[in-house]
Amino acid sequence: MRMPTPPISRAYLMCPPDHFGVQYAINPWMDPGRPVDSERAGTQWRELREVLKELGHVVVQAPARRGLPDMVFTANAATVIDGRVLVATFRCPQRAGESALFEHWFRENGYQPVARARGVNEGQGDHLVANGMILAGHGLRTDSSSHEETSSYFGLPVVGLTLTDPRFFHLDTALAVLNEREIMYYPGAFSPQSLRVLRSLFPDSLEADDADAAVFGLNAISDGRRVVLPAAATGLAQRLAQRGFEPIPVEVEELLKAGGGPKCCVLDLRTPPTTRTPVPVPQTEQTEWPGARSVI
């Protein structure tokens, strides 16, 4: 049995599901005619928040806004690496109003630099850091043309991965980073070429089956040892335990009605916000970051 790395304390941004509901359909999971139990969704969200806090992580919150029911899925709000923030530009007009609100939150909480993505870029939902590179999903939400901007802004290589199954419309629904060198993913969500890339870069990774992928088992939160994942992904939990990880099951079936799970509900800030008075960011800092390369 391989020994996982020690847990790393994280800071997560969450947004309460005060206005959560399925009011439109922008992914295959959403059906406005299917009832959503708002009270139960709130309970599940709060239980997820408490689990993260009990594991020793910091949880901060952004306020919800009426008319933006998907704000609860903060993973899509931005990509945050080493304090740099690239705020999402959403493909679907139903979520476009979230960008300005999250950009304001980051500036008010002292992050710098903060910039809005020029191309369609759906934040950490499609951008996960592992082994010194950014794994970037595209093909369904984020545009592959945005990868160059992402690589340049963060100064890291980007590995583009083509998503082909509409059920797994963001990378974080089909792949989870367990630690810096180990991931788990669902092979059926990726193009043949992207699957070859993943198997080459991460040869010892855990490949999930259809049953666990279908309950969003890959939409998980890992601190290097403890893995928070949907309770319905029982097979995946067993396989994680066999590898020395500690699976932490949580109920998320109400959130799944909108195509969300544990990871969708958190944006990994890595370190807590400073809460200091933000410093204005020069225009050049917002647009150009030389010295990076993109692997697509």
Catalytic residues: 170, 264
Record the tokens describing residue 180, joined without a space: 């810096």
Q: Are strands 246-250 and 226-230 parallel, antiparallel or unpaired?
A: parallel
Q: Can you tell me the distance from the alpha carbon of 172 to that of 194, in angstroms, rounded to the nearest whole number?
A: 15
Phi, psi of 228 (to 5 degrees): -85, 120
Record the tokens describing residue 218, joined without a space: 């890959």
Q: Can you tell me the distance from the alpha carbon of 162 to that of 68, in angstroms, rounded to the nearest whole number?
A: 28
Q: Can you tell me the distance from the alpha carbon of 172 to that of 102, in angstroms, rounded to the nearest whole number?
A: 19
Q: Is 277 exposed, middle or buried (0-12, 13-18, 19+ CB in 10 A)?
A: exposed
Q: Can you tell me the distance from the alpha carbon of 221 to that of 174, in angstroms, rounded to the nearest whole number?
A: 13
Phi, psi of 232 (to 5 degrees): -70, -15
DSSP code of 144?
G
